Structure 1
Amino acid sequence: MAIWDWALEAYGRPGVSEACLALQDQHGQNVPLLLWAVWAEADDAALLARAAETARRWSALAVEPLRTVRRELKAACPPVDDGAREALREDVKAAELRAERLLLETLAGLSRGHGGAPALAALQAASVAWGRPAPARDLAVLAQALG
């Protein structure tokens, strides 16, 4: 299954979105990197280092600025019309999702197949490669939600 299709299906599973957002917002993790690591069953340190560097660069360039704008557009900004502001926010959200999709597809191109690592091992390895390891219990919650 293509990574984007897999990620959409996985993200829709009970508990996955909540676990991903907690890892992102509370522990500074990169959700596309984590999801890719599970999809690719990745635990190779060199591959994960390349993937983390790719994710860092693309996130800083595209994903994070779009996310910041989307979040800032949540609040009213008189005298700007609320409907127009919310429509712009939806456009920015769509661009943020496109940026995350491009990152996932780029990471998938790095992996060339599946490595065989179980979900929790892949999440732990990706979290370490990201440079700010998340608590094991929070990674385990995501691994369990992903099945």
Structure 2
Amino acid sequence: MALWDWTLEAYARAGVPEACLSLQDQYGQNASLLLWAVWAEAGDPVMLARAADVARRWEALALAPLRDVRRALKPSFEGVSDSARSALREDVKAVELRAERVLMETLEAMTEGRGGVHALTALEGASKAWGKPAPSDVLAALAGALG
């Protein structure tokens, strides 16, 4: 199954969105990288480092700025109708999702076969490759939600 399709199915599972958002917002992780690592069963530190480098650069160029704009558009803005602001926010949200998909497709193209490691091991490796690793219990919650 293609990574994007797998990700959509995985994200529909109970606990996955919450765990991904917690890892992103509280621990500075990249959810796309983490999900890719589980899908790829990634355990090779070299591959994880390459993937983290691409994800880090894409995060800085596209994902973080789009996320910031989307979040900034959430509250009312004096002088702009709520419906116009909300519609623009939805447009930005769609572009942010497209940027996440571009990253996922890029990571999938970099994948050289499945690594065969357990989800938690892949998450720990990806989190470490990203930078400051997230707490093991938080990664374990995502691994458990992914099944």
Q: Which residue in 2 is equivalent to 1:52? A: 52
The structural deviation recorded for 1:113 is 1.8
Q: What is the CA RMSD across the aligned residues, in angstroms? A: 0.5
Q: Which residue in 1 is equivalent to 2:116? A: 116
Give distance in 2, aligned partners of 1:113 and 1:11: 22
Could you tell me the TM-score, scaled by structure 2's length? 0.99
Extract structure 1 runs of 4+ deviating beyond 3 A. Answer: none
Q: Which residue in 1 is equivalent to 2:87? A: 87
Deviations 1:86-107 (A, max 9, x none): 0000000000000000001100
Q: Structure 2 matches for 1:36-47, cutoff 5 A? A: 36-47=36-47
Give distance in 1, aligned partners of 2:42 and 2:10: 17
SS at match of 2:26: helix
Q: Which residue in 1 is equivalent to 2:6? A: 6
Q: Which residue in 1 is equivalent to 2:32? A: 32
Give distance in 1, aligned partners of 2:62 and 2:113: 26
Give distance in 2, aligned partners of 1:94 and 1:67: 11
SS at match of 1:29: coil
Deviations 1:93-124 (A, max 9, x none): 00000000000110011112211011000000
The structural deviation recorded for 1:32 is 0.2
Deviations 1:3-57 (A, max 9, x none): 1000010001000000010111110000000000000000100000000000000
Q: Which residue in 2 is equivalent to 1:102? A: 102
Give distance in 2, aligned partners of 1:134 and 1:3: 23
Amino acid in structure 1 at the alignment position of 2:7: A
Q: Which residue in 2 is equivalent to 1:71? A: 71
Q: Which residue in 1 is equivalent to 2:20? A: 20
The structural deviation recorded for 1:64 is 0.5
Q: Matched residue pairs, number? A: 147
Give distance in 1, aligned partners of 2:124 and 2:89: 33
Could you tell me the TM-score, scaled by structure 1's length? 0.99
Give distance in 2, aligned partners of 1:45 and 1:119: 15
Structure 2 unaligned blocks of 5 or more: none
Structure 1 unaligned blocks of 5 or more: none
SS at match of 2:55: helix
SS at match of 1:80: coil
